[in-house]
Amino acid sequence: MLETAFAALGTTNHVSIDAFTDRIAAGEALMRARERVLFLHDRLSVFQPESELSLLNASAGCASVPVGNDAFFLLRESKRYSALSGGAFSITTRALSALWEIHARCGTVPSRAEVEHALLLVNDEDVALDDDAQTAELRRFGQSVDLGAIAKGYAADEVRRILIEGGVTGALINLGGTVSVIGEGKHVGIQHPDRMTGIPMGRVLLSDGCAVTSGDYERYYEVDGTRYHHILDPRTGYPSRSDLRSVTLIGESALALDALSTAVFVLGAEQGLPLIQQAGCEAVFVTKNLDVFCTEGLRGNFELL
């Protein structure tokens, strides 16, 4: 077994390899994969003051900035998923997230006026991309974006690609709950929303595929018994209040699943289902009442614990 654990993209990342054609090549691929994730963190994190995304945000409303291949690709994909989800997925929620983060630190709730003000800045159509120059611009002063809802999925796909190129035939990639499996079946837990991290309420047997979850228990704070979590509804400016505690999507592209799981979590099971069907992936829903249900294609692979 070859493995590595490291911090990046705001989470702890674990990659373990249990089957390969050549041990040395697999070890080198593992190091390359880790470097790749750290590189993406440096370029894409809005918490890194010098990252491409931070420079884009700092230039909002006044200038376009050159961005690298990864950021450009992810900005374009984000706009696509935003349009596809009718705006439920919107990277321009950053202005709102920043507001909620300040209040989370103080243990307070923003006023409706503060929320309304930040909400005016949410519209992914204002992310202007120039293909020829490979530059990006946020059209309005004060706007900002973050790729927190899609970057881990992309990073997981990149780790997978690098490991496979290095002759790896069996691996478990887990970037803070964004999971990708190479090779034979491995069990992936569906986290219980009210129990300690690592305590599952069900599990899925995953072979050569990915599983990505969005849930209200991943990051939140409470004021007077109300939970304020980190996934914002771009229609209201408040943490989303659908019928879901979590949704886990299973399919081939972690990037697609990451974007869609965030969108479906915002939209709720009923409105989210067409997106899931259109993308050809499967889903496990955990509802507010802690009922668990899954799509047809998972029957036989999903087990309630």
Binding site for Mg ion (CB under 5 A): 149, 258, 261-262
Question: Is-contact 41 55, C-beta < 8 A?
Answer: no
Q: How far is the CB of 123 from ligand AMP (least distance, A)?
A: 12
Question: Is-contact 246 195, C-beta < 8 A?
Answer: no
> 186-191 and 220-223: which strand pairing?
unpaired
Q: How far is the CB of 65 from ligand AMP (least distance, A)?
A: 20
Q: How far is the CB of 32 from ligand AMP (least distance, A)?
A: 25
Classify residue 225 as exposed, middle or buried by CB count within 10 Å of its CB (0-12, 13-18, 19+): exposed
Interface positions with ligand AMP (CB under 6 A): 89-91, 93, 97, 146, 148-149, 214, 218, 230-232, 234, 258, 261-262, 266
By C-beta, is 146 or 282 nearer to ligand AMP? 146
Question: Is-contact 20 170, C-beta < 8 A?
Answer: yes
Cα–Cα distance measured from residue 97 to residue 242, given in angstroms and rounded to the nearest whole number: 18
By C-beta, is 29 or 91 nearer to Mg ion? 91
Which DSSP helix (H) or strand (E) runs through 212? strand 209-215
97 binds, among ligand AMP, Mg ion, none (CB under 5 to 8 A by kind): ligand AMP
By C-beta, is 166 or 240 nearer to Mg ion? 240
By C-beta, is 20 or 89 nearer to Mg ion? 89
Residue 16, φ and ψ in degrees, nearest 5? -130, 140
Question: Is-contact 295 283, C-beta < 8 A?
Answer: yes
239 binds, among ligand AMP, Mg ion, none (CB under 5 to 8 A by kind): none
Question: Is-contact 135 65, C-beta < 8 A?
Answer: yes
**Where do we find the tokens 């120039």?**
130
231 binds, among Mg ion, ligand AMP, none (CB under 5 to 8 A by kind): ligand AMP
By C-beta, is 29 or 122 nearer to ligand AMP? 122
By C-beta, is 209 or 237 nearer to ligand AMP? 237
Among all residues, whose Cβ is closest to ligand AMP? 148
Q: How far is the CB of 104 from ligand AMP (least distance, A)?
A: 11
By C-beta, is 148 or 166 nearer to ligand AMP? 148
Question: Is-contact 91 56, C-beta < 8 A?
Answer: no
> And the tokens for 154?
């992309």
Q: How far is the CB of 229 from ligand AMP (least distance, A)?
A: 9
> And the tokens for 254?
């972690």
Q: How far is the CB of 12 from ligand AMP (least distance, A)?
A: 15
148 binds, among ligand AMP, Mg ion, none (CB under 5 to 8 A by kind): ligand AMP
114, 150, 186, 214 from 225: Cα distances, Å: 22, 30, 37, 22
Among all residues, whose Cβ is closest to Mg ion? 262
By C-beta, is 234 or 251 nearer to ligand AMP? 234
Q: How far is the CB of 246 from Mg ion (least distance, A)?
A: 12
157 binds, among Mg ion, ligand AMP, none (CB under 5 to 8 A by kind): none
260 binds, among ligand AMP, Mg ion, none (CB under 5 to 8 A by kind): none
Scored b (16 or more CB within 10 A) or e, 163-182 reads beebbbebbbbbbbbbbbbb
